[in-house]
Amino acid sequence: MPALTALFTGAVFIALSPIWVRVSEVGPTASAFWRVLLAVPLLWALFFFNSRGRASLEKSQFIPLLAAGMAFAGDLAFWHWSIQYTSVANSTLLANLASIFVTLAAWVLWRQRPSALFLAGLAAALLGTGLLVQASIAGSAGTSPTALLGDGLGVVTAMFYAWYLLSVKGLRDRGAATLQLMAVTTTITAVILLPVALVSGEPLLPQTAAGWLKLLGLAWISHAAGQGLIAFALAQLPAAFSAVGLLLQPVIAAGFAWLLLSESLSVLQCAGGAVVLFSIYLAHRGRTNA
């Protein structure tokens, strides 16, 4: 139960991130950069306080950590741009299609054949996701070129997100500590995103104190707390189930967008959210064979 609680709490915190991005005073790439840079000091302070100098980075972990940092940089960059072009519901839903890629990778690379019940949960999750996306498109200018671009960027995000989840799962299985993993990969991601943000031509600095507070919320709540809780959960839950469980994110994000950004929710979207929640239950029941 602690792992499930951590997974779902992390999903709630991350579901706030598209709200921070949408109301940010800086561009999407810049917000992705500040998201990780502002979290770096906090994560390293927590790591050193808890390890008290006893933990050290093994050479064999460098390449996997670099891969995780690269994957997360791609995930953030493409997702933040997707949020700017399409609805919060669409961008978050499509990004969480990572469950497809995680399940396929686990099956092909590690011969972790999913159970029938797990596949039923995944199918239900995709059905619910499809209902939400269809409802979101029907209720907005979803067929415009910019919205379609945003949807496409959301799919690319899912590929990078799946890579990140599998990388973190592998590192946690090898014994990497959660805080060390978060501190190192976040630092790598910040280094990668800095030149991208500089050449993007976007506004890089918020103009008000409220703008900085929004970036701090994105960094400390959505990234440090949200991703940290998910990294903890991945050590104790199958990767494929974790990815499906994280489909809770778009449901919560759609609710936040409705409350805070006035993005309306239709009956079809509510039905899709209910199907996603039921799919999480099925996946949980079938996860032992996944």
Which candidate, 196, 167, 166, 162, places its Cα nearest to that of 62?
167
| Residues of the chain by 3-state class (helix, strand, coil), percent to 5 | 80, 0, 20
> By three-state DSSP, how is residue 114 classified?
coil
Which candidate, 273, 248, 70, places its Cα nearest to that of 159?
70
Structure tokens at 109: 């690379």
pLDDT value at position 199?
Answer: 93
pLDDT value at position 290?
Answer: 46
pLDDT value at position 229?
Answer: 85
Total domain count, the chain: 1
Q: How far apart are CA 140 and CA 29, in angstroms?
A: 25
Query: Is the distance from CB of 214 to CB of 53 less than 8 angstroms?
Result: no
Domain range holding 134? 2-289
Q: Tens digit of pLDDT per residue, the chain (290 long)?
A: 687 888 888 888 988 999 999 999 999 999 999 999 999 999 898 888 877 655 566 667 788 889 999 999 999 999 999 998 888 877 887 887 777 777 777 777 777 777 788 788 778 878 877 776 676 566 554 445 576 788 789 889 988 988 988 888 788 777 777 788 888 999 999 999 999 999 988 889 999 999 999 999 999 999 888 877 877 776 677 766 666 666 778 788 888 888 888 887 778 777 877 887 787 777 766 654 54
